[in-house]
Chain A
């Protein structure tokens, strides 16, 4: 069944070409996009089922054997990420179609939107499946190139201004990544992840630390880890709502995925684990303090996004099976929740005419459905007990306590404080935008007339809310999957064996 592995990359790429060809027929274009992403979701689910036995699926592209040719590897972690990302991209696509239909497609040039969106998906899946560093780089470039188009779509003054920051910072991180690739190739003579796993161990410690820091730097910018996160809250909020949502949910997590993959496979006992833990602590606290100070919902959510990247780094930095498992669980939870919240923010903007807290009010009475759509994922993000946010944080805290080091305890304390501050920030949004009485003359009241939320937009947001809430129900089996994925990652051997099994049949 290895022929399934390249499909999540190929189908969106072909779909992008097709939607570009039929750009004059918007209805057909929408149908093709939805069909392609549904098929991708189907394949992703099939891959997750196939890797359940524990053996990664490997495809050697073009039939060239492993160290020379390009390999695509779908192990448990990659398959899990594929399923979540496909589900989220599909929901966001439906949301944006709803928005396009409601607005008469006047404000967004849909002809470019669908191909760019599908290419973005292809880049994300390619990064998840990449079996060598250079292919990972190409995956990043595909998704970044598409994201440049999406973030500046419409090319208004504010989008160009904020897009400039985003593009230049992303290009810089790509150049750092490419430099790291050049140096790693010079040091080891290979870029195949499975082969690197053995060869990097033989290098002197100082050289390993240098290479590891360069990769961490490049991925840290993409994942918005604290000292490198300033670009994110400035560039994400100005894009159109579905674009912000899919960026917030997926793009930073691709960076986190790359960190997980390289840390576990290439530098398992690397000397930089403490650096990762310190960065995690700073990302959490500085991010959430930024969120508390914001008065705009989208900017506030961007800061919580930065802050919660810290939780995933916490798990990665612990480098134990429990920590990694918690981190992977948190990535899955956070992709869904953060996307949902940004979609809900888009609905708030539609209903209230703005996302500035000073000018919103009384939305709970004006739009009760919207209230539910925001309230559930918001509580989930803050980590209120029955939700998956709580379970993910609990897993990480347990891993931290089990580690027992001073830094780990500090991070446990930091996690709890961050969680409380998230609740405070979210509570402020709820109080000001939803709970307070509608203020006279505010835009919420003036916009209340005739502003009905499109059913497709509400429906897709609702689907994601249900998915996020449903994580609680399947938390047991999901945690089982992440734990086994973490064990395999730390073991390294199944991955390496699967890649080189092709070589000697």
Chain B
């Protein structure tokens, strides 16, 4: 038995697209990335089992049965991914509700270090006092992104 080439390529594409989306700052895109990655992993598990007819005794002769264990594992994984995605969506909504956007923000320490760097720079040359935080962008664009619309 050799794995189906088309499925292998699909797994690769899903992983690549998922990882790319995971690198975004926007939580909605991160969720989409995780969904794609999850589906990629599920297909990968499916590729690990044997191919064949429905694994029901009396319908398919035993040597030609598909591997039922991989399908059971995928079902479990799908249920888990569903729950996690629902939780992440709720978190993205809450983040949007509280801050007006759902970007993953810099943590406290990073912001403190950035502020210090900016202050030091401000002491050297007085004409650059602006503090540009990548987490705070145009709120209208963020709202559009929350609803899944392209920017």
Physical interaction between A and B: yes
Question: Interface digits, A185-202 against B, CB 8 Å rule (1 contact, 0 not)?
Answer: 110000000000000000
User: Which one of B30, B76, B105 contacts A168 once the chains associate, using CB atoms below 8 Å?
Assistant: B30
Known: A134-B73, A138-B76, A152-B91. A168 touches B104 (CB 8 A): yes
B121 on interface, CB distance cutoff 8 Å: no
User: Which one of A155, A163, A178, A233 contacts B41 once the chains associate, using CB atoms below 8 Å?
Assistant: A178
Q: Which residue of B lies closest to A161 (CB)?
A: B105
User: Which one of B37, B49, B76 contacts A175 once the chains associate, using CB atoms below 8 Å?
Assistant: B37
Whether B107 lies near A145 (C-beta < 8 A) is: no
| Distance (whole angstroms) from the CB of B4 to the closest CB of chain A | 13
Contacts of B30 in A (CB 8 A): 168
A234 on interface, CB distance cutoff 8 Å: yes
Whether B107 lies near A182 (C-beta < 8 A) is: no
Contacts of A141 in B (CB 8 A): 80
Whether B98 lies near A182 (C-beta < 8 A) is: no
B71 on interface, CB distance cutoff 8 Å: no
Q: Which residue of B lies closest to A175 (CB)?
A: B37
Question: Interface digits, B41-59 against A, CB 8 Å rule (1 contact, 0 not)?
Answer: 1001101110000000000
Stretch at the interface among B81-89, B125-133, B136-144: B81-89
Whether B91 lies near A160 (C-beta < 8 A) is: yes
Question: Interface digits, B85-108 against A, CB 8 Å rule (1 contact, 0 not)?
Answer: 001100100110011000011011
A165 on interface, CB distance cutoff 8 Å: yes
A163 to B109, CA, bound (A): 15
Known: A145-B87, A157-B99. A164 touches B104 (CB 8 A): yes
| Distance (whole angstroms) from the CB of A434 to the closest CB of chain B | 25
A298 to B88, CA, bound (A): 26
User: Which one of B69, B88, B105, B107 contacts A167 once the chains associate, using CB atoms below 8 Å?
Assistant: B88
A141 to B77, CA, bound (A): 10
B22 on interface, CB distance cutoff 8 Å: yes
Contacts of B41 in A (CB 8 A): 175, 178-179, 182
A148 on interface, CB distance cutoff 8 Å: yes
Known: A181-B45, A185-B45. A175 touches B38 (CB 8 A): yes
- Bin the interface of chain B by size: 20 to 34
A75 on interface, CB distance cutoff 8 Å: no
User: Which one of B27, B77, B83, B108 contacts A145 once the chains associate, using CB atoms below 8 Å?
Assistant: B83
Q: Which residue of B lies closest to A179 (CB)?
A: B41
A141 to B85, CA, bound (A): 13
A148 to B47, CA, bound (A): 31
A134 to B75, CA, bound (A): 12
A186 to B87, CA, bound (A): 31
Contacts of A185 in B (CB 8 A): 45, 48-49, 69-70, 73
Q: Which residue of B lies closest to A188 (CB)?
A: B48
| Distance (whole angstroms) from the CB of A143 to the closest CB of chain B | 12
Contacts of B27 in A (CB 8 A): 164
Contacts of B80 in A (CB 8 A): 138, 141, 145, 174
A167 to B83, CA, bound (A): 12
Whether A157 lies near B83 (C-beta < 8 A) is: no
> In chain A, residues 143-181, which have Cβ atoms closer than 8 Å to a Cβ of chain B?
145, 148-149, 152, 155, 157, 160-165, 167-168, 171-172, 174-175, 178-179, 181
Contacts of A155 in B (CB 8 A): 94
Contacts of A163 in B (CB 8 A): 91
B34 on interface, CB distance cutoff 8 Å: yes
A183 on interface, CB distance cutoff 8 Å: yes
Give the top 8 A-B pairs by smallest Cβ distance, nearest first: A186-B48, A182-B45, A234-B107, A182-B44, A185-B48, A178-B41, A157-B98, A141-B80
A sample of 18 cross-chain residue pairs with beta-carbon separation below 8 angstroms, ordered by A number, consists of: A134-B76, A138-B76, A145-B84, A148-B84, A160-B95, A163-B91, A164-B27, A164-B91, A164-B104, A164-B105, A165-B107, A167-B91, A182-B47, A185-B48, A185-B69, A234-B107, A234-B109, A299-B109
Instruction: Name 13 extra pairs, CB < 8 A, besides A160-B91, A164-B95, A175-B41.
Output: A145-B87, A148-B84, A155-B94, A168-B104, A172-B22, A175-B34, A175-B37, A175-B38, A179-B41, A186-B44, A186-B49, A233-B109, A299-B109
